[in-house]
Amino acid sequence: MTDFRSLSARELAPYIQHTLIAVGTTRQQAEEHARQTIEYGFDAAMVAGSWVGLTASILEGTGIKVASALDFPTVGVMTSRGKAAEAEELVRLGAQEIDIGVQIGWLKSGDYDAFREDVAGVVRAAGVPIKVMLELPLLTEDEKKAAIELSVEAGAAYLKNASSGAIEVANPDSIRYLVDHAPPGVKVKASGGIKTRQQVVELLEAGASLVGTSAGIAIVTDTADEKTESY
């Protein structure tokens, strides 16, 4: 078992998906983000779909993954067919993992089959690991269990506590909850307001396999502070 507290800040990089999803991102910023991912040895460059192709071309041959997100940052607004089609296109452009928003409203309405099929459609179309953003603070205990069960049945490879810090600042309790309820083979990714090395260590100790943050460089260079914006 890895002793995460003994790792240097820089040694945490392989557990971090370096995120840049922001309005108005320029080509120069996208290129620099990809180069940073290589320089610091992050697990993946997480970018908006519009920059997947460019990012993939820069990361080609490095062994570093290209990841993207859909039905995000406003979660649950896309149609299921649209979501599946976008997932297929992201993979064509070079995405190797996709984080997706789920239909929390359908879940709360009792439309379990539709919720499951929404995720399953993306899994089938993409053919790459899919991470589901479950928005745990918005769910009752029964809804949490149902969301996990339905997502796993749909083929999700990862469970996520939330889509961003606006929903929940990632915390060990939420991560342990997902780990405890996930079947073997389904992993957990932490996201939302992750800004410091200490947070990363605590989330990994709680069982997260990955963390997603836009504060990755500050974290691995030990220059992070509470004012750093992260997703």
- Determine the Cα–Cα distance for residues 179 and 156; give it in Å rounded to an integer: 14
Of the candidates 65, 160, 187, 195, the residue annotated as catalytic is 160
Of the candidates 43, 71, 99, 118, the residue annotated as catalytic is 99
Give the chain's domains with CATH numbers: 4-220 (3.20.20.70)
The encoded tokens of residue 190 equal 């932490």
- Is 189 annotated in the active site? yes
Q: Give per-residue pLDDT as tens, 147-183.
A: 999 999 999 999 999 999 999 999 999 999 999 999 9
* pLDDT at position 227: 46
Answer for the pair 192, 211: CB distance below 8 angstroms, yes or no.
no
Of the candidates 83, 131, 144, 189, the residue annotated as catalytic is 189
- Is 65 annotated in the active site? no
- pLDDT averaged per 10 residues, the chain (length 231): 92 98 97 98 98 98 97 94 98 98 97 98 98 98 98 98 95 98 98 96 98 97 62 50
* pLDDT at position 225: 59
Question: Could you tell me the CA-to-CA distances from 77 to 24, 80, 81, 91 in Å, in that order?
Answer: 21, 9, 12, 21
- Is 160 annotated in the active site? yes
Q: How many CB atoms within 10 Å of residue 8?
A: 10
Among candidate residues 228, 157, 168, the one with its CA nearest the CA of residue 198: 228
